[in-house]
Amino acid sequence: MDKQNEILLEVKNLKKYFPITRGVFRRVVGYVKAVDRVDLFIRQGETLGLVGESGCGKTTLGRSILRLIEPTDGEVWFKTGKGKKLDITKLEDREIKSLRREMRMIFQDPYASLNPRMTVMDIVGEPLIIHKVAQGKEIEDRVRTLLKIVGLNPRYMRRYPHEFSGGQRQRIGIARALALNPRLVIADEPVSALDVSVQAQVINLLENLQVQFNLTYLFIAHDLSVVYHISNRIAVMYVGKIMEVGQAEEVYQGPRHPYTEALMSAVPVIDPDVKPERILLQGDVPNPANSPSGCTFHPRCRYAKKICSQEEPPLEDIGDEHYVACHFADDFSLKGIRQF
């Protein structure tokens, strides 16, 4: 993707802290720092893959961007179709509603994300009704087209979601997300609940749709192998923080952060020349309510030095828009993956 492409979404210093309360008066005794000072940007037309272990705050980040949950602090700049730049975190509810046409979400669990009491027609057509862009017969026609686009037979649009399989449900969810011709789609692990054989189909569908409708994706996954195919750039997240961001090939082939390297080593490789050496992470994922001092990763980092537990490394550009949050980003030569 061209660096010349304009930036569609820019996240600055975004935080989401969930308070932990205790006692008679529900005193706040601490915070779960699910998203902690995250900086990101996404260019028009590209796919940014966001990877990280389960519970590291990917979903929370995605939802905070869309203000499905209220972020604690930070800015989210979005360039609207009319070319205006808006800070989403400062918008009134009414203003957000019009923005929701431009940025949509695909949910993680296709079994939980469709209203069991609505027909496919109602589910896919609902955004059209909410935003008053179509009426009556128009809605039906539009739903029909959408279903065809995502590969579902429109004949079954009067049926309820439980009659469909997981992959089909996810297609319904995609059709719903596309209904308003969005520009940005945040796909929150759209395939991780699906059977492996279906995953590829859905990812292919998403890739085709991106070309067809000039979509921009924030593609969340906990598995590097899933995002590899579809992403232009990759962001690696660990306990609420971004560890590394860069061009996909660069991150895959030459990771500069020890955590990325560890994630990478867990990916099954089919290259006979490469001897698989799996880096087993020591210890548990830290509790986001009580994350370690200094570099969040230091208790599990096999390269950790004294400074790592004292000073937090900033997310710095080490050249060519490759950002890394490690004191020794320039010093190591870490193992990546040549090919899958």
Partner 1 sequence: MILKNERSRKKNSFAEPVKGEAYIQLVWRKFKRSKTAIIGAILVIIMAILAIFAPFFSPYNPLKIDHRASFSPPQRIHFFDDKGKFHLRPFVYNLKLELDPQTWKRIYTEDTSKRFPIYFLVRGWEYKPFGIPCKLHLFGVAKGGSIHLFGMDNYGRDLWARIMLGGRVSLSIALLGAILSAFIGSMVGTISAYYGGITDMILQRIVEFLQSFPQLPLWMALSIAIPATWSSLYVFIAIMMLFGLLSWTPLAREVRGKVLSLREQEFVLSAKEAGASDARIIFKYLIPNCLSHIIVVLTITIPWLILAESTLSFLGLGLQPPMVSWGVLLQEAQNLQTMGRHLWIAIPGAFIVITVLGFNFLGDGLRDAADPYSRR
Ligand X SMILES: Nc1ncnc2c1ncn2[C@@H]1O[C@H](COP(=O)(O)OP(=O)(O)OP(=O)(O)O)[C@@H](O)[C@H]1O
Chain residues that interact with ligand SF4, rule: CB under 6 A? 257-258, 295, 297-298, 301, 303-304, 308, 313, 326-328
Beta-carbon count within 10 A of 73 CB = 12
Least distance CB 299 / ligand SF4 (angstroms): 8
Least distance CB 308 / partner 1 (angstroms): 37
Task: Specify which residues 238 forms β-bridges with.
Answer: 241
- Give the interface size with Mg ion as a residue count (CB under 5 A): 1
| 148: phi then psi, degrees, rounded to nearest 5 | -60, -40
Which of residues 60 and 72 has its CB atom nearest to ligand X in the complex? 60
Window 193 to 222, contacts with partner 1 (CB under 8 A): 195, 197-198
- Give the interface size with partner 1 as a residue count (CB under 8 A): 43
Tokens of 39: 């900086």
Sign (positive/negative) of CA torsion 104, 229, 13, 293?
A: positive
- Give the interface size with ligand X as a residue count (CB under 6 A): 13
Window 43 to 82, contacts with Mg ion (CB under 5 A): 59
| Whole-angstrom distance, CA of residue 194 vs CA of residue 313 | 37
Least distance CB 76 / partner 1 (angstroms): 15
- Closest residue to Mg ion, judged by C-beta, is 59
User: Are 183 and 145 spatial neighbours (Cβ–Cβ below 8 Å)?
Assistant: no
**Is 327 a binder of ligand X (CB under 6 A)?**
no
| Whole-angstrom distance, CA of residue 180 vs CA of residue 121 | 15
| Whole-angstrom distance, CA of residue 317 vs CA of residue 31 | 29
Stretch that binds ligand X, among 3-11, 21-29, 56-64, 297-305 (CB under 6 A): 56-64
Q: Which does 303 bind (CB under 5 to 8 A by kind): ligand X, ligand SF4, partner 1, none?
A: ligand SF4
Q: Which does 18 bind (CB under 5 to 8 A by kind): ligand X, ligand SF4, Mg ion, none?
A: ligand X
**Is 23 a binder of partner 1 (CB under 8 A)?**
no
Tokens of 27: 């005193």
CA neighbor of 285 nearest in space, from 16, 52, 113: 52
Residue type, 28: V
| Whole-angstrom distance, CA of residue 317 vs CA of residue 288 | 25
Site string for partner 1, 37-76 (x = CB under 8 A): --------------------------x--x-x--------
| Three-class DSSP category at 37 | strand
Which of residues 122 and 312 has its CB atom nearest to ligand SF4 in the complex? 312
Tokens of 26: 């529900």
Contacts with ligand X by CB under 6 A lie at: 18, 32, 34, 52, 54-60, 222, 288
